[in-house]
A and B are shown apart, each in its own frame.
Chain A
């Protein structure tokens, strides 16, 4: 649902700089720049992504090379700032590399679901009638499963692996995005300006370009960003259960699982991969909250 009326509670943020006429996107950008928390969250995400991409260049050690003599070194050990894991591999290095698979497994499904869900939902909303009925009833069936359960069921049946994690989570996130897209499209279609545009001779393409993008895609996009944080937690959760990437690959959820046995030897090093999952999901949550406010979308 897009709220076109200004929200009376936060007039300062919604009006934009006084006296300056702005386009929608300029206004969104202006609002984002005022929002310190969102900017910080975006900065954290950028940092995590960069450190994952640049891992081979900035990591101090080889992620797979361990040493029996240096197993489970404490945090702050000289040479191993964040300690070592149960095979004596450098934790900082493994955490940097771990971000690669965790981010891919967390973000890709939402992206796939965004493409599939918004196509299905917009189609259902635009065409209405039987097509709508068919698509939406199928999506309802997936709603009968709690999302964690559905993800575990599918990837449990498919077997372990990064690809299967992505498939399972894409299936989990498609129905909610479809539902959101359908409801927004149905609402926008009924609005008077759409009627007016059609009456004044605008073609379907022009209507889509001028009216659909901001009114339909914006809320769907904002909604999808709220799912990224859940997806990151779930993807790492699946590999925590042993359903994601296989050892000796570095992945936060998997690292949490293998290190879990060592808490009686070295208490705090096993907690580190969880810090990364938490930071990532928190940053995505804050970013999506900020985007929602800046884009003035009510979900």
Chain B
């Protein structure tokens, strides 16, 4: 058990290093000299040279990478070009906002997905199954940013029930209820893809277990169907759980579009802002933190998986 965990943790290190390498190279992917992104075009030559010296841009790339990596390792992601504040300070609140939105979308999407998927499997081939499968494929085919706009059109413009943008009302006291009202529409828009993906996986894995002989044996032994269901759920759960971990990571990293539609002050919104201000340190910071989180999440899911299903550890 422990040897598996240690092995898995060690495997995470090269991946994390690779992530930093990609994030570092983002700055150099940007067209032109990275220095141009930081200074106005009419900056005097001496200033350009000074900044270059300061930032280490006159050193060879591997040296630059190493210096950057050393700073990142101690949690220094540099300063934002736009706000001059440390990137980490700008990100802290945004990450928290993204997290609560992703969490509520995950809860909604996973609950619907598992319910629909399991129901579909038990009613395989009948109209309930067909309806659930159609819902799932529609869920993954819908552009969620468009669904966001549709939700705004229906519930904010036409019905005027729910707020269309932001996280808190500008007037009046900010209360938990106020934030919750702002969360409803983005949560629905974000939950569609995890709902569809989890539904398909839950259906497939429940079907696979249902076709196995031990289920038939249990039934033949005259066991009450709820007991059989418990066995089925226990066996079908691991692949679904793994996928849930992945999907939660996608929600955290992929909410940029929905956050933009609803002006939700999260990390995706910050990322979008940094792209248009050409604020590369913020761009790098947001992506690095989200990707690192995704790697750690995957690690956690793998380890959890091995706890539930000991067969994994042998491979």
Residues of A within 8 A of B (CB): 137-138, 140-142, 144-149, 152-154, 156-159, 229, 233, 236-237, 240-243, 256, 260, 263-264, 267-268, 270-271, 273-274, 277-278, 281-282, 285-286, 289
B254-A146 in contact (CB<8A):
yes
Contact B252 A144 (CB under 8 A): no
B141 touches A281 (CB 8 A): yes
Q: CB distance A157 to B26 under 8 Å? A: yes
Of the stretches B73-81, B103-111, B152-160, B217-225, the one at the interface is B152-160
Contact A148 B256, beta carbon cutoff 8 Å: yes
SS class, residues of chain A in contact with chain B:
helix
Contact B280 A157 (CB under 8 A): yes
Let me know if B250 and A153 touch, CB within 8 A. Answer: no
Contact A149 B256 (CB under 8 A): yes
Instruction: Provide the residues of chain A in CB contact with B145, threshold 8 Å.
Output: 237, 240, 256, 274
Q: In the complex, which residue of chain B has the Cβ closest to the Cβ of A286?
A: B137
Contact between A140 and B294, CB atoms less than 8 A apart: no
Q: With A240-B257, A277-B143, A286-B137 given, is the CB distance from A158 to B276 under 8 Å? A: no
Say whether B138 faces chain A, with CB atoms less than 8 Å apart. yes
A146 touches B252 (CB 8 A): yes
The CA of A269 and the CA of B309, in the complex, are separated in Å by 51
Q: In this assembly, does B233 line the interface, its C-beta being within 8 Å of a C-beta of chain A?
A: no
- Collect the chain B residues with CB atoms within 8 Å of residue A233's CB: 141, 143
Could you say which residues of chain B place their CB within 8 Å of the CB of A158?
29-31
With contacts A146-B250, A229-B141 known, is A267 near B158, CB below 8 A?
Answer: yes
B149 contact set on A, CB distance < 8 A: 256, 260, 263, 270-271, 274
CB contacts between A and B, total, < 8 Å: 135
Render B133-168 as a binary contact track against A, CB cut-off 8 A, 1 for contact.
000011011110111011011000110000000000
> Which of B1-9, B11-19, B42-50, B112-120 is the interface stretch?
B11-19
Q: Could you say which of B14, B15, B249, B283 contacts A153, with CB atoms under 8 Å apart?
A: B283
Question: Could you list 14 examples of A-B contacts with CB < 8 Å?
Answer: A137-B18, A144-B294, A148-B256, A149-B291, A153-B287, A156-B271, A157-B27, A157-B280, A157-B283, A229-B140, A236-B143, A241-B257, A271-B150, A286-B137
- Say whether B191 faces chain A, with CB atoms less than 8 Å apart: no
B241 within 8 A of A: no
Contact B143–A263 (Cβ < 8 Å): no
Q: Does B205 contact A (CB under 8 A)?
A: no
How many residues belonging to B are interface residues under a CB distance threshold of 8 Å? Answer: 50
Residues of B at the A interface (CB closer than 8 Å) are 14-16, 18-19, 21-23, 26-27, 29-31, 137-138, 140-143, 145-147, 149-150, 152-153, 157-158, 249-250, 252-254, 256-257, 260-261, 271-272, 274-276, 280, 283, 287, 290-291, 294-295, 298
CA distance A165 to B257 in the complex (A): 15
Choose one: B138, B153, B249; the contact of A267 (CB below 8 Å). Answer: B153
Nearest CB in chain A to that of B133: its residue: A289
- Whether A263 touches B153, Cβ cut-off 8 Å, given contacts A141-B15, A146-B290, A237-B145, is yes
Bound together, the chains give a CA A148 to CA B119 distance in angstroms of: 30
Q: Find B141's partner among A140, A159, A256, A278 (CB 8 Å cutoff).
A: A278
Do the beta carbons of A141 and B272 come within 8 Å of each other? no
Please report the C-alpha to C-alpha distance between residue A229 and residue B280 in the assembled complex, in whole angstroms. 30
**B257: A residues at CB distance < 8 A:** 148, 237, 240-241
Cβ contact within 8 Å between B141 and A285: yes
Are B157 and A264 in contact, CB atoms less than 8 angstroms apart? yes
Chain A nearest CB from B82 CB (Å) reads 15
Which residues does chain B contribute within 8 Å of A241, judged by CB atoms?
A: 256-257, 260, 272, 275
The residue in chain B whose Cβ has the minimal distance to the Cβ of A8 is: B211
CB of B14 within 8 A of CB of A278, answer: no
C-alpha spacing A156/B31, complex, angstroms: 11
Between A140, A148, A267, the greatest number of chain B beta carbons within 10 A of the residue's beta carbon is seen for A148
Q: Is the pair B18, A148 in contact by a Cβ cutoff of 8 Å? A: no
A149 lies within 8 A of B143 (CB): no
Q: Give Cα A141–Cα B30 distance, bound, in whole angstroms.
A: 21
Top 3 nearest A-B pairs (CB, nearest first) are: A274-B146, A141-B18, A146-B253
**Residues in B neighbouring A148, C-beta threshold 8 A:** 250, 253-254, 256-257
- Which of B14, B137, B275 has the most chain A CB atoms closer than 10 A to its own CB? B275
Docked-complex contact A285 and B26, CB < 8 angstroms? no
- Determine the distance from Cα of A164 to Cα of B150 in the docked complex, in whole angstroms: 29
Q: Which B residue sits closest to A149, measured CB to CB?
A: B253
Contacting pair B31 A278 (CB below 8 A): no
